């Protein structure tokens, strides 16, 4: 039996997944040359920046991995064709966003970048190449990739053999903010495919640092579907606990106590039970929409409606926050300064994709608020893109126009504010000196905590009013 010996890996897509995933493979397998390629020059330039603080993504632990492997056996490049030609294994790790027009718009995944990669691999690969789906994809995409790869792109020369391919699915389960830990100590690695030799080759790579019993093998379709279902189950838990938070607020119960009470049941488990302003991130919404689309495609409308409700509840949760705040600030926030603490969709990342902070800030701007936004890692230019609006250093006052500015420190943001709204659970927000902050706010001043990061006793002692998500009043 042939055993593929892997000396060279190419990963197409140097994003949040491609970059860290390949960095860890290169770190753990110094005998394999790993080249991460992307069409985006500035992204590749940032991955090659000698200043590790300028890497294109922020992930705890990433700098150390990059500094060990980069230039040794890990390379970032825009030479896509060359990297494909010299690779034994090609990972496709490109973006698969929701389609915004045409058939399936608003639900189906846009596979144009995946298809482009498959065509490029078909054209430039040499010999036998194992092609691996790392992107999250609709079930049966591997069949599409295989069909493209198996169509000869050009006639081989007289003594040249046509390239051959095996296609595997190897979805990624890392979460942003904990990517390096998730990659170094994964709960499992999933490999789907029917070419045992190719599966063995990929499994061998992971086995350099992942215990064999954690490397699961399935057929292609189970692997592709499991990725969508894992995200759907995780998102479903968040919508479930957020629905309970609203019920707690109305009944005098406390969602933290309810989460503890149910989470200690080992059948339920304690993880993913933190109520919050709604889930964000680039994937939960997109992957559930994709799942809903697939269910409809396979004539399962009841199943589609079931999963769709997870997103509807999440939209409702994000939308209700601004309304609650306006209601408590005497029914208007026009001309009022509001400090927004946290803009990333979760702590320990600079990613703002689908962050609840975006829709909540837009709702408050619509109400005429003057937002002072702080985030320790998000670039103010990204905030401007997300809010479709430039920052303004002058406040528009009572003329009704909402404005925003970026505040480099929490103290700057809170200075003169009527309220603080905490939207991301950055660790530094757990350690704020509320006595000092209360002195620079305009009374009666409020703290709105959607992430359960502040101590209610400290807030009360500082003379501040407080609303916490999921906390009922007696
Ligand atoms: P991303 O947008 O950060 O990165 C994708 C990169 O692919 C971009 O830099 C883009 O320029 C590049 N690209 C697109 N087409 C290309 C082509 N033809 N040739 C070369 N480069 C090309 O996306 P991401 O967050 O890394 O996600 C990638 C995939 O992984 C998605 O399917 C996503 O659902 C999945 N995923 C993401 C996460 C996450 O935490 N972000 C976790 C698990 C799975
Ligand atoms: C999620 C999954 O956790 C990963 O396994 C998956 O690989 C990834 O999506 C993906 O496919 O992209 P990620 O979105 O990076 O990872 O981060 P999560 O930790 O899952 O958080 C997602 C959102 O849910 C965040 O907005 C977070 O604040 C929110 N959340 C999470 C809660 O509101 N409560 C919780 O208890 C947990």
Residue 127 inside a domain? The answer is yes
User: Is the shortest distance between the CB of 135 and ligand 1 below 6 Å?
Assistant: yes
Which of 150, 185, 218 is at the close of a domain?
218
Which of 93, 133, 345 maximizes ligand 1 atoms within 8 Å of its Cβ, making it the mutation to test the pocket? 93
Per-residue confidence (pLDDT) for residue 393, from 0 to 100: 74
Segment 298-314 shows an average pLDDT of 98
Active-site residue list: 172, 227, 283
Q: Are residues 435 and 311 in the same domain?
A: yes
Residue where one domain finishes, among candidates 218, 242, 274? 218
Helix (H) / strand (E) containing 288: helix 284-297
67 and 99 both lie in a single domain? yes
CATH assignment of the domain containing 175 = 3.40.50.720
130 shares a domain with 278: no
Residues 380 and 254 in one domain: yes
Q: Is residue 140 part of a domain?
A: yes
Outline where DSSP puts E strands in 78-135. Answer: 89-92, 128-133
Domain that holds residue 161: 8-218
CA 106 to mean position of chain CA atoms: 19
Examine the domain organization and report whether 205 and 224 are in the same domain: no
Q: Are residues 212 and 279 in the same domain?
A: no
Same domain, 392 and 298: yes
CA angle 173, 178, 181 (to 5 degrees): 85
Query: Domain check: are 25 and 96 in the same one?
Result: yes
Q: Name the pLDDT band for 36 (thresholds 50, 70, 90).
A: very high
pLDDT band at 311 (very low <50, low <70, confident <90, very high): very high
One domain, residues 166 and 255: no
Give the mean model confidence (pLDDT) for residues 336-342: 98
Same domain, 85 and 209: yes
Cα 26 from chain centre:
23
Residue-wise pLDDT tens digits, 343-372: 999 999 999 999 999 999 999 999 999 999
Distance CA 381, CA 389 (A): 10
Residue 169 DSSP SS3: strand
- 171 lies in the same domain as 129: yes
Q: Is the CB of 43 under 6 A from ligand 1?
A: yes
CB atoms under 10 Å from CB of 218, counted, come to 16
**1 belongs to a structural domain:** no
Domain's final residue, options 218, 250, 275: 218
What DSSP line would sit under 55-93, residue for residue? -SS--TTHHHHHHHHBTTTEEEES-HHHHHHT-SEEEE-
* Rounded Cα gap, residues 343 and 365, in angstroms: 15
Strand partners, 215: 189
Centroid of ligand 2 to alpha carbon of 467 (angstroms): 24
* 365 CA distance to ligand 2 middle (Å): 26
Q: How many domains are there within the chain?
A: 2
Q: Is 136 in the pocket of ligand 1 (CB under 6 A)?
A: yes
- Residue 1: pLDDT above 60? no
The whole-number pLDDT of residue 396 equals 66
| Phi–psi pair at 450, nearest 5 degrees | -95, 0
pLDDT higher than 90, residue 232 = yes
194 and 316 inside one domain: no
pLDDT of 218-227, one tens digit each? 999 999 999 9
The strands making up 403-406's β-sheet, listed across from edge to edge, are 403-406, 370-374, 337-341, 419-422, 446-449, 465-468
């Amino acid at each position: 039996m042939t055993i593929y010996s892997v000396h060279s890996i190419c990963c197409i897509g140097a994003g949040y997944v491609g970059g860290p995933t390949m960095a860890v493979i290169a770190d753990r397998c110094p005998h394999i040359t790993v080249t991460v390629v992307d069409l985006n020059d500035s992204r590749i330039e940032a991955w090659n920046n000698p200043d590790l603080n300028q890497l294109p993504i922020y992930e705890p632990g990433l700098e150390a991995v990059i500094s060990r492997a980069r230039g040794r056996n890990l390379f970032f490049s825009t030479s896509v064709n060359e990297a494909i030609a010299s690779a034994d294994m090609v990972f496709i790790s490109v973006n698969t966003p929701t389609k915004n027009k045409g058939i399936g718009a608003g639900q189906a995944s846009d596979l144009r970048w995946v298809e482009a990669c498959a065509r490029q691999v078909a054209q430039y690969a040499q010999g036998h190449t194992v092609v691996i789906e790392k992107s999250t994809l609709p079930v049966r995409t591997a069949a599409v990739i295989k069909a493209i790869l198996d169509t000869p792109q050009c006639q081989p020369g007289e003594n040249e053999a046509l390239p051959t391919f095996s296609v595997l699915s190897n979805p990624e389960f890392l979460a942003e903010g904990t990517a390096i830990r998730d990659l170094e100590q994964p709960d499992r690695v999933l490999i789907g495919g029917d070419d045992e030799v190719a599966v063995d080759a990929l499994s061998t790579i992971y086995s350099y640092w992942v215990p064999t019993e954690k490397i699961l093998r399935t057929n292609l379709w189970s692997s592709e579907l499991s990725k969508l279902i894992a995200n759907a189950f995780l998102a479903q838990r968040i919508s479930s606990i957020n629905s309970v938070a609203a019920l707690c607020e109305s009944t005098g119960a406390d969602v933290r106590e309810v989460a503890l009470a149910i989470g200690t049941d080992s059948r339920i488990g304690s993880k993913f039970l933190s109520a919050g302003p709604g889930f964000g991130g680039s994937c939960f919404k997109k992957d559930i929409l994709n799942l809903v689309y697939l269910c409809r495609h396979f004539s399962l409308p009841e199943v589609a409606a079931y999963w769709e409700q997870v997103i509807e509840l999440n939209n409702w949760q994000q939308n209700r926050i601004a309304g609650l705040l306006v209601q408590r600030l005497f029914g208007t926030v026009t001309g009022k300064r509001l400090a927004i603490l946290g803009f990333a969709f979760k702590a320990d990342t600079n990613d703002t994709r689908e962050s609840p902070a975006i829709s909540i800030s837009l709702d408050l701007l619509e109400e005429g608020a003057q937002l002072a936004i702080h985030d320790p890692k998000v670039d103010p230019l990204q905030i401007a893109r997300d809010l479709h609006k430039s920052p303004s250093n002058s406040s528009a006052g009572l003329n009704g126009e909402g404005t925003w500015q970026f505040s480099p420190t929490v103290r700057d943001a809170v200075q003169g504010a009527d309220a603080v709204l905490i939207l991301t659970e950055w660790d530094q927000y757990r350690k704020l000196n509320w006595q000092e902050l209360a002195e620079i706010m305009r009374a009666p001043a409020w703290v709105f905590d959607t992430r359960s990061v502040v101590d209610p006793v400290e807030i009360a002692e500082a003379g501040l009013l407080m609303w916490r998500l999921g906390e009922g009043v007696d």
